[in-house]
Structure formats: C-alpha cells, structure tokens
C-alpha cells in the first residue's frame, strides 16, 4: 500500500512493484525479484524476499490510491489507474507463481471485479473489503484462499468477540485473516 513499507522490503522493491504494474516487459522485473530471492536463500541469517501482490479495486477498476485519501463522500486521490482488468493482473500473478496476494475492494461496486480476479487465480489470492459472514462464502467459492476482515470485527477500536465468532463460524479460523 502507498506510503507503507513492510519489514524487510526496501523502497527499491516497492519501486520494482510499481514498475511491474506498468512495465510492458514483466519478465525483466520478475527476473530481478527472483534473482534477489535466490541470492538471499543461501544466507541463513536472511529470509528470501516474498513478494505478495495486491489488486486494489475502486469503482470496479484496478487503482493505486494515495493512502488516507479514501473517505466517505470524497473522491480519493489516484496515483495510477490501469486499463487492464483485475482478472488480467490475477492471471499474471498466477503465471509468475506469486501466491498469497490480496484483492481489496475499496468501497461498493467492486464485487464483480473481485470475483473475476479470484476466478483467474483460484486459491492464490485473499480478498478483503466489506467482508461479513453473509458474503464471505461467496468469495471463498469464487476462488479466494482466505477472507480478510477489519472493520466488521473491530468496533470502537476493540475486537467485537461476537462478530469474530460469527466470522469463524462462517469460514473457519484457517481461512480468516484479521487485518
């Protein structure tokens, strides 16, 4: 996500990820990522880089939105909007053997695009954004390996135990990610 750097992930790798979105020759970028992972694998003190792709959906399109600019009633600031579908990105991630990424629905109207991506890489992607017990199974059946919940489970800064229990009942604890 824009502005956030995961532990062990340098700004260089974020740049590679951003280039990957728009680069016509995706194999060159992937080769850099694979070479870095292979060079780290011989060093027992360091873990190889694990690239986890993300497909952010807003208004049914794949977008990169400036962190913190998505608010109710306001148009977010967009860094990048792709002309390619969510399914196109999911197929690339499947071909490149990049499991464990996620599809995030930012607001309403993204359900068809999310289902398209999950179907294109069945079992390879997590899905989040508006997930609740009544719709979670739909996304798992569409191909999600896991569902991600945040606002449904967290109320007033605290975990709502009843809602968490309802999610676990609906999908099982092994297919649930709390974010």
Kindly tell me if the per-residue pLDDT of 136 is higher than 50. yes
3-state secondary structure of 144: coil
Q: What is the pLDDT of residue 9?
A: 45
The H-or-E segment that residue 57 falls in is: strand 54-58
d(CA 154, CA 10): 30
Kindly tell me if the per-residue pLDDT of 39 is higher than 80. no
State whether the Cα torsion 168-123-94-62 is positive or negative.
Answer: negative
Which is more confident, 46 or 164? Answer: 164
pTM of the predicted model as reported, rounded to 2 decimal places: 0.73
Distance of alpha carbon 178 from its chain centroid, rounded? 13
Which is more confident, 80 or 174? Answer: 174
Residue 71 is given by DSSP the state B
d(CA 128, CA 139): 9
pLDDT tens digits, one per residue of 9-23: 444 444 444 444 444
């Amino acid at each position: 996500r824009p502005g956030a750097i995961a532990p062990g992930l340098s700004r260089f790798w974020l740049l590679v990820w951003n280039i990957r979105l728009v680069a016509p020759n995706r194999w060159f970028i992937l080769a850099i990522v694979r070479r870095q992972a292979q060079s780290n694998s011989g060093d027992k003190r360091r873990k190889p880089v694990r690239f986890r792709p993300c497909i952010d959906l807003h208004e049914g399109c794949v977008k990169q939105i400036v962190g913190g600019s998505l608010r109710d009633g306001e148009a977010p600031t967009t860094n990048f909007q792709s002309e390619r579908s969510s399914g196109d990105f999911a197929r690339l991630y499947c071909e490149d053997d990049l499991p464990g990424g996620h599809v995030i629905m930012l607001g309403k109207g993204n359900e068809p695009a999310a289902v398209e991506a999950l179907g294109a890489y069945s079992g390879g992607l997590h899905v989040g954004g508006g997930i609740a017990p009544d719709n979670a199974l739909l996304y798992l059946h569409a191909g999600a390996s896991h569902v991600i919940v945040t606002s449904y489970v967290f109320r007033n800064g605290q975990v709502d135990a009843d809602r968490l229990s309802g999610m676990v009942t609906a999908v099982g604890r092994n297919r649930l990610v709390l974010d």
